[in-house]
Amino acid sequence: MFTPTLESLQATSDKSLIAALLIQWNTKSKNKEVIEVSEAFTRLFVYIDGMELKSFSCDREVSEARADKNRAVLRARKSEEKIIELEEKVKKLEKSLKIFGGNIN
């Protein structure tokens, strides 16, 4: 889950303030410059939100990849321990078979 930082909270607050003021100005005045600024800020907000989403997605994918790697390492360690355990059992069984005169090959 995304944990907001102070900077991201401030940026969201600033975007909300700017958007509210631009809406207010657009309803009060049909000034061409105000409309152009509103459109420019809208495009900028969409761009910034897209970048934040990409960053969040990238962070999540890296986190999932690390978790997958850690699980694989744990499985490999557990498998290695089991191999060692089974090799020891094989050696014991081979010794037991030699005691009773059995041929191992």
- pLDDT tens digits along 29-38: 888 998 899 9
In angstroms, the CA 2 to CA 14 distance is 19
Task: Report the percentage of the chain scoring pLDDT > 90.
Answer: 64
Residue 16: the pLDDT is: 93
Residue 104 included in any domain: no
The set of residues, in sequence order, having a beta carbon less than 8 Å from that of 96 and lying 6+ positions away, is none
Whether pTM > 0.85 for this model: the answer is no
What is the CB neighbour count within 10 angstroms for residue 87?
10
pLDDT at 21 over 60: yes
Structural domain boundaries, residue 11: 7-99
CA distances in angstroms from 101 to 87, 89, 94, 96, listed in the order given: 21, 18, 10, 9
End-to-end CA distance of the chain: 58
Residue 29 included in any domain: yes
Residue 31 included in any domain: yes
Tally of domains within the chain: 1
Residue 87 included in any domain: yes
pLDDT at 6 over 60: yes
Residue 49 included in any domain: yes
Residue 105 included in any domain: no
Residue 69 included in any domain: yes
Residue 64 included in any domain: yes
